[in-house]
Structure 1
Amino acid sequence: MPRHVAIIMDGNGRWAKQKGKLRTFGHKAGVESVRSSVRYCRKHNIESLTLFAFSSENWLRPVQEVSTLMELFNLVLGSEVKKLHKNDVRLRVIGDISRFDTKLVNKIMAAEELTKDNTSLTLNIAANYGGKWEMVNSCKNLIKSVKEGLIDIDAIDESVFEQQTSLAGQPDVDLLIRTGGDQRISNFLLWHIAYAELYFTNTLWPDFDEDAFQLAIDEFQSRQRRYGMLNEQVNSK
């Protein structure tokens, strides 16, 4: 099994449109797929699950849709955190949360504090997140540490850089899933998916249940991960 799965949750709007509903209806329906994915990961002892909920580019969407997404985030934090805690799930929100209103930021901080000692699964929610933003932010943190004399510039390597990223201390992503049919990364976890297997499915996010998750895992397990080596080298291990 992969240790860390990341998912670009795409297709909510199209799912709603197919049913003659507003796009916001699709976002609300997608919450059940989040629950389903968490259940699957807990059941199969996957260590980390990272979900792309709101990108730094999503602010460009219609004001009503952005407002609904923020309201939904607030509601989900209120209704789901105790369930996550009961099931030993640690919740982390990665991204630049400074743009969110104070009420939402306080809810995020309270949820992270409540679940910080849970160990069965780490659920990372990427909100106002962008892969380029994360790498620039990590560089800024390193520069600050060098200026303050906390680290020598020659000591900076991949492992030191990793400690400045949003997912420090967690396994690199083994499997990246994107629902909805598009086949692109969309500025998601650029550092962490260096050797991830990519899986694209036409299934729209609200239809992505545990069976659909299993199909992605089956495909992952059928692949050979070489990390730059030859087939013969991998097979000899």
Structure 2
Amino acid sequence: MAGAPQPQVKTVPGCPRHVAIIMDGNGRWATQRGRPRLFGHHAGARRVREIVESCPEIGVGYLTIFAFSTENWKRTQVEVAGLMNLFRRYIIKETKALRESGVCVRFIGDRLQLDDKLIHLMNELEAATENNNRVHLTIALNYGGRDEVARATKRLAADVAAGHLRPEEVDEETLPRYLDTHVLPDPDLVIRTSGEARISNFLLWQSAYSEYEFIDTLWPDFTRDEFTRLCEAYGGRERRFGGVLQ
């Protein structure tokens, strides 16, 4: 909010600039409590706000969250419909707060399978927050890493066919310009909650040199304190990018 006092910032030494999170465990969290899976997804959505709010306090400038994958369409129609409704409600409810708190929101993924109302809300949220820069929140919705690379490759091939790009100019620096994340830095740290130790088709190209943390905590139980602890642990890692530290 303009003119509002900013929270006291206690930047974590060596804090990752960009953190990506695979938010897993909502369904199991609900099942453990004898509730339907959608109850867990609603709890997980509330947790997103807390983690986004904590980013500027510890020095994270970019946060990318995996909300819905291209494979999640395989879930029951009831769960998929409930998730789509949750996404619409989340955008409507949170747009004002995100805009006023300086959060810039972007969506990545293939929007063609999403309904028109949701796409309209996504576009509105991006437009409403495009001038913010306190935190850059990227929401991966109907996203898959392989799908993203395939779509990027098609756009690159079209440019080659049209004569805008010569084949010999294509290298590992070229393709990222066609990815959904072309305006973002690569993630420094990728966190997956719920005890699963796999990347599930998330940011395949971008996370080639990311550090990973696989934790047992279910997403609805993931707190800002645990987030801060993981960012602090990242600061103690040695990142060599294939080289040798002198």
Give the TM-score normalised by the residue count of structure 2: 0.92
Look up the match of 1:115: 129
For 1:159, what is the secondary structure of its paired residue?
A: coil
Out of 219-228 and 177-186, give the one that drifted further.
219-228
Gaps of at least 5 residues in structure 1 are none
The answer for unaligned runs of 5 or more in structure 2 is 1-14
Q: CA deviation at 1:119?
A: 1.2
Which SS does the other structure have where 2:20 is aligned?
Answer: strand
Selected match of 1:13 from 27, 44, 51: 27
Whether contact under 8 Å (2:108, 2:138) holds in the other structure is yes
Q: Deviations over 1:180-206 (max 9, x none)?
A: 000000000000100000001100000
3-state SS of the aligned residue for 2:49? helix
Helix, strand or coil: the match of 1:170? coil
Q: Could you tell me how far 1:148 is from its partner in structure 2?
A: 1.2
Of 192, 198, 205 in structure 1, the residue corresponding to residue 219 of structure 2 is 205
Is the 2:27–2:38 Cα contact (8 Å) retained in structure 1?
Answer: yes
Letter matched to residue 139 of structure 1: T
Q: Does 1:49 align with 2:63?
A: yes
Shift of 1:104: 0.6
Write the distance in 1 (CA, Å) between the matches of 2:59 and 2:115. 35
Q: Is the 8 A contact 1:45 1:121 kept in 2?
A: no
* Superposed displacement of residue 222, structure 1: 2.1
The correspondence of residues 15-164 of structure 1 with structure 2, limited to 5 A, is: 15-164=29-178
One-letter amino acid of the structure 2 residue matched with residue 12 of structure 1: N
Question: Secondary structure of the equivalent of 1:217?
Answer: helix
> Aligned residues, how many?
232
Percent identity, aligned pairs only, is: 44
AA aligned to 2:35 is K
User: 2: distance between equivalents of 1:114 and 1:199?
Assistant: 33
Deviations 1:121-178 (A, max 9, x none): 1111001100000001110010011111111111122222111111112111100000
1:189 and 1:56 mapped to 2: Cα distance? Answer: 13
Amino acid at match of 1:74: R
Q: Distance in 2 between matches of 1:85 and 1:158?
A: 35
Q: SS of the residue aligned with 2:237?
A: coil
SS state at 1:203 partner: coil
Contact 1:7 1:177 in 2 (8 A): yes
Could you state the TM-score of these two structures normalised by the residue count of structure 1?
Answer: 0.95
Question: Which protein has the bigger helix share?
Answer: 1
Corresponding position of 2:5: none
Deviation at 1:86, TM superposition (A): 0.6
* Runs of 4+ displaced beyond 3 Å: none
2:30 partner amino acid: A
Decide whether the 8 Å contact of 2:58 with 2:228 is kept in 1. Answer: no
Aligned-residue offset at 1:45: 2.9
